[in-house]
Structure 1
Amino acid sequence: SMTLGCFTLLRTHGPVCRPSKPGNHSTEERFLLLGFSDWPSLQPVLFVLVLLCYLLTLTGNSALVLLAVREPRLHTPMYYFLCHLALVDAGFTTSVVPPLLANLRGREWRLERGGCLAQLCASLALGSAECVLLAVMALDRAAAVCRPLRYAGLASPRLCHALAGAAWLGGLTNSAAQTALLAARPLCAPGRVDHFICELPALLQLACDGGGQDSTERQMFAARVFILLVPSAVILASYGGVARAIWAMRTRGSRRKAMSTCGSHLTAVCLFYGSAIYTYLQPTHSYNQRRGKFISLFYTVVTPALNPLIYTLRNKEVKGAARRLLGGVGRGQDAQ
């Protein structure tokens, strides 16, 4: 439904620009993604790194979803939201990696305007959904630590479904708004994007000035501030409450358990939000494309590969579920 929504948006708004004055605006119908062509000696290393991260992302996140679905002990709000995070990460990386790998192999990657905006819409929707989902997970952890006796009632299945749906809907809404605003802007020649994906800051640097475009850019910036800073505020408030609750605990064991419960999520939040805020909250005129490519590579490729490791390395419940699942598979093979 997300992809259909993106393509419906593109059909509604048509091409990015139909210039009235040839020569001022771009009449090209294709974008050339330059990728890392300015770092030719680095491309083979990046190809191996990106491919490895992509395989880890698909394997790790698929394993998390499988364990959370198959293991009754993991049928809790925390792992329900973790399943959604795993699906978002897998989709987010898949929207980016295939063209990136082709580009790193030396192939020129050209996209039609509609294809470029569709990729932008998909990656923005999934990235925005992750922003909201991480805030929802912070609320869940705060409820578990600060209100342990009321947690079962607070985190009801109906509420969990509603919050997960809100994360997906919020991501798609933000993406549709940003893509629609960009689609209404004329882009000036040349149609060369100094990036490995059609990412918003890189595309905005191609936008023509004048004609009320400053107002459009302010609206787009306000939307980015909202989708990044509002969830960030929720996360900070949630962990402020968690910190106070941990400080009030009398036993070291209780403190250790509470900190281990929240530590993995807090690590994932810092990795994702640090790079995303740097990329999307900079003014367009000060955005450094060369540096931006490597930062985008981190939060679109590396972070989704690290998330399954972050959530499982110190998690006894997940490791126990994995051992039970593998043990059951082994016994089944022995029986045959």
Structure 2
Amino acid sequence: CFRCPIVMEPQNLTGVSEFFLMGLSDDPGLQPLLFGLFLSMYLVTVLGNLLLILAVSSDPHLHTPMYFFLSNLSLADIGFSTTTIPKMLVNIQTHSKSITYDGCLAQVSFFFLFGCLDSLLLAVMAYDRFVAICHPLHYPVIMNPCLCGVLVLVSFFSSLLDSQIHFLMVSQLTFCTNVEIHHFFCDAPQLLHLACSDTSINTILLYFMGAIFGSIPLLGILCSYTRIVSSILRVPSTGRKYKAFSTCGSHLSVVCLFYGTGLGVYLSSTISHSPTKTSVASVMYAVVAPMLNPFIYSLRNRDIKKALQRLLNRTALS
């Protein structure tokens, strides 16, 4: 194992030119099934989220803060899936397991970028629902276009900072002969396990960044919904209570799906040392959750349904 002094610029410290992604299964008979399954899921994810973005952008009734944030969430979900699935499909199709060193670092960077952006946008959407329900008269003033743009930009640059910290952390690792990653994409914890240098500081940094960019948005969501529930319970009309809860139902479903699958990945990696179980849990987090988000919003939201119908009717007429 070659060791070089740590420098500020990211570089390959070991001469390792590539890693090997072992994927979900070594069984050759399962590869066509996995290819078809993940290709279908990826196409559904991209088309579903693009359709949602088109519906929001083409319908003036949906030019509101809630749907503006939803469009950005759909873009983040497309990026989240594109970071991992296409490379997996290419490797299955070419019967190869390799990924270049630079490609691996890029996957780590983009995975944390879009994952963190998802988390922050969900927190921003929870704040939007809090203002809409608890301060309805001041909602147009508080959630003005300028603030909405600033919230999205702050979320993006915070996610970019998180991704670059993880990128620099991984780029300073020293690797020896073991370059097999028992996963379907390059993940920072997996690379820490492969490193032959001391990774104690890196592990502390990994958990510290996870606590900041994972726990703080979740805490913000919980605080927002605590105030929302408290406000709704004080409403005397049952019909108004139902309407208020229904406006939050889709967002709550997406929050539970995102953080529930993320918690599943964390628990599977800490409780079980089986790489297969960790990979399957990661599929739910990195693939299934972005695919289901547009369906959750379109099936539970009448405005989205009407916008999609108008979009499809215009497309059919043209």
TM-score normalised per structure 2: 0.91
List per-residue Cα deviations over 1:265-286 (Å, max 9, x = no partner): 1111111112223435888797
Matching of residues 77-96 of structure 1 within 5 Å: 77-96=65-84
Which of 200, 203, 206 aligns to 1:217? It is: 203
Structure 2 unmatched ranges of 5 or more:
1-6
User: How far apart, CA to CA, are the structure 2 residues paired with 1:38 and 1:250?
Assistant: 60
Partner of 1:128: 116
List per-residue Cα deviations over 1:142-191 (Å, max 9, x = no partner): 11111111111111100000001111111111010011112112123211
Matching of residues 190-209 of structure 1 within 5 Å: 190-209=178-197
> Which range moved further: 286-295 or 91-100?
286-295
Contact 1:35 1:103 in 2 (8 A): no
User: How far apart, CA to CA, are the structure 1 residues paired with 2:162 and 2:259?
Assistant: 17
Identity across the alignment (%): 38
Q: Establish whether residue 30 from structure 1 lines up as the match of residue 18 from structure 2.
A: yes
> Which range moved further: 281-290 or 29-38?
281-290
Which of 311, 318, 336 aligns to 2:304? It is: 318
Matching of residues 172-187 of structure 1 within 5 Å: 172-187=160-175
Contact 2:10 2:171 in 1 (8 A): yes
Partner of 1:259: 245
Give the 3 Å change call, closer, same or farther, for CA 259–147 of structure 1 in structure 2: same
User: How far apart, CA to CA, are the structure 1 residues paired with 2:153 and 2:214?
Assistant: 18
User: How far apart, CA to CA, are the structure 2 residues paired with 1:286 and 1:186?
Assistant: 26
How many residues get paired?
Answer: 312
Give the 3 Å change call, closer, same or farther, for CA 173–281 of structure 1 in structure 2: farther
Which of 19, 33, 52 aligns to 1:45? It is: 33
Which of 98, 105, 125 aligns to 1:117? It is: 105
Contact 2:108 2:166 in 1 (8 A): no
SS at match of 2:19: strand
Give the 3 Å change call, closer, same or farther, for CA 231–282 of structure 1 in structure 2: farther
Partner of 1:14: 11
Partner of 1:189: 177
Q: Establish whether residue 271 from structure 1 lines up as the match of residue 257 from structure 2.
A: yes
Aligned CA RMSD, in angstroms, stands at 2.1
Structure 1 stretches (4+) deviating beyond 6 angstroms? 281-286
User: How far apart, CA to CA, are the structure 1 residues paired with 2:197 and 2:248?
Assistant: 46
Structure 1 unmatched ranges of 5 or more:
1-9, 19-26
Q: Establish whether residue 226 from structure 1 lines up as the match of residue 215 from structure 2.
A: no
| Deviation (angstroms), 1:215 | 2.1
User: How far apart, CA to CA, are the structure 2 residues paired with 1:280 and 1:166?
Assistant: 26
Kindly provide the amino acid, as one letter, of the partner of residue 79 in structure 1: Y
Which of 288, 292, 298 aligns to 2:284? It is: 298
Partner of 2:227: 241
User: How far apart, CA to CA, are the structure 2 residues paired with 1:43 and 1:247?
Assistant: 52
SS at match of 1:31: strand
Kindly provide the amino acid, as one letter, of the partner of residue 268 in structure 1: V
